[in-house]
Chain A
């Protein structure tokens, strides 16, 4: 498949060394995107969280043990494994900005895209969403509520992108050239440690442009060539080694 190139490419640089696993990003994402709460959240492979904070371990015994936390949004791949397989084009990468879309009224719920995604970034509505009585008053108007039977995923808070472009137009600025910070995702905004930096990977005026080129930056499962737009930074080699599969004799980047 041809790789589409975009003038603007929204991406993230997440510093794993700064994440302390508090989960503010996970809760902010749910509130922003109208995910429904669930009474029993212990089946982690059936509970919906567009953003998941994984716990990494250097696998050493006490006291040499080291821990790291890795927030994993949708990687918004340049060559998305999911887009090419969707039979009904419910997901596509066709908009300036490079965000992989997910169109709920189009999705037939075949879950082929979920099989394709190695990052487990896609989630299925196994049941209808249920809010405790009255809590639907806290729904934001920006993101539609999904019925059962459709797939959903992190959209880099695409509605905020639209709002930022509208604001730029109203204020007489170029919506195709947003400044660093004009548009940030809910998780980026929420993180008290500033572990997530969001911006245009193609724009040198954006912080994320330089961070993505850091010697400590690499992407998850790079050697599968999905060309993701989320960069992970860590000064710890054992962490970087877990960003991809390495054979015993292979060295880690950085």
Chain B
């Protein structure tokens, strides 16, 4: 076959019928991302070779940007399991048009989180001790088990998409593997939903069990503090719209329509509904915290806040501007279907979840419990920002490669058919 010089050089690798920008443009984009990744790699190298002392973490803030980042991306990556659950178990068919993206986003979020944890943990070579010397009473053990298993599930869910790459799919064996995996997908979706629920919950449970930290401690149901449930519900209340935001960013960058408005709106409605449920429980929980947990510990509501950096405005922003407001927008059809409002709501929703993860991680540790102790403040330094940027760059690389070469969006061809 003679070469077609008017198409990009790697056009043979594109999904069927899809148009992509020139290879040069793509390489420039990857180069820019690569620079960020290189900076991040240097930061990661410094952390691994010199020690965690190069970060802005300290004995008061054993958890900082990295854990906040991890919790946020894991929550926002919940679009993967929840969409999978709705699509494969509850058979909401239209979601098939966005489920591939949720899987990729989920994969990026979880593998990225694991990358961060390799840096965050003081002895990464011993990380597998969580399996070998597991403490059944610890929420973190549960998190370790479920996150690693769920990452495997995500890989299993991602593999068929990779194998459906136009050239790879020509191989009969690979085609059959992909096909069979698709057939078994409901099983994996179910497993994934189960694992996800538990580790999303356990991440919340990690904080709720800290009975000596009144800021985060909660009563609960059996062994699970209320934060267990709150974390799961807030994750499914924001994960779907995070995926939509990613899709929209990709649309803006590529100049193509990738997902129809109906799908986006559906994801928004799903997120909005779960956000509604979440807010009911969240308000109840906050009320209970203020009126039971705090007085039992001898503390007032005001004592849980400090200055601007850990001020009450964070709480009201999380609950109001980034909670009630996006919930209303996403649930009221006339508001939801206004793109500007929709995307604003999606963004605020995601910010709200991030604030929640941040205050539970950082503000909880900033707050003194001993009366003669003092509030401390934390700011991440270049090593932490750099390595977080590495993960973001890594995500951009994976997404870019996936978009360019894999059939991620079933609606792409149809939505861009009018273009020449």
Contacts and interface: CB of A to CB of B under 8 A. Distances in A.
B180 to A, nearest CB: 36
B123 A109 contact: yes
Nearest to B140: A87
A246 interface: yes
A128 to B, nearest CB: 6
B34 to A, nearest CB: 29
Interface residues of A, number: 56
B9 interface: no
B2 interface: no
Interface of B: 50-53, 57-63, 120-124, 126-127, 129-130, 133-135, 137-141, 143-144, 206, 209-214, 295-300, 303, 364-365, 369-373, 376
B212 A224 contact: yes
B376 A118 contact: no
B141 A56 contact: no
A119 interface: yes
Nearest to A147: B123
B212 A87 contact: no
A110 B121 contact: yes
A45 B376 contact: yes
Contacts of A120: 59-60, 370, 373
B62 A115 contact: yes
Interface of A: 1, 43, 45-46, 48, 54-57, 70, 81, 84-89, 106-112, 114-120, 122-128, 148-151, 220-221, 223-226, 241-247, 250
Nearest to B216: A115
4 closest cross-chain pairs (CB), A and B: A109-B122, A149-B122, A245-B298, A111-B62
Contacts of A1: 137
A128 B51 contact: yes
A115 B63 contact: yes
Given A117-B212, A245-B297, A45 B60 contact: yes
B212 A244 contact: no
Contacts of A107: 122-123, 126
25 contacts: A1-B137, A45-B58, A54-B373, A85-B138, A87-B140, A88-B135, A88-B141, A106-B129, A107-B123, A108-B127, A112-B140, A114-B59, A114-B62, A124-B62, A126-B51, A148-B122, A149-B51, A149-B52, A220-B370, A241-B371, A243-B371, A245-B298, A245-B299, A245-B303, A247-B299
Given A46-B59, A88-B130, A242-B372, A250 B298 contact: yes
Contacts of A70: 372
A106 B130 CA distance: 10
Nearest to B144: A87
B370 to A, nearest CB: 6
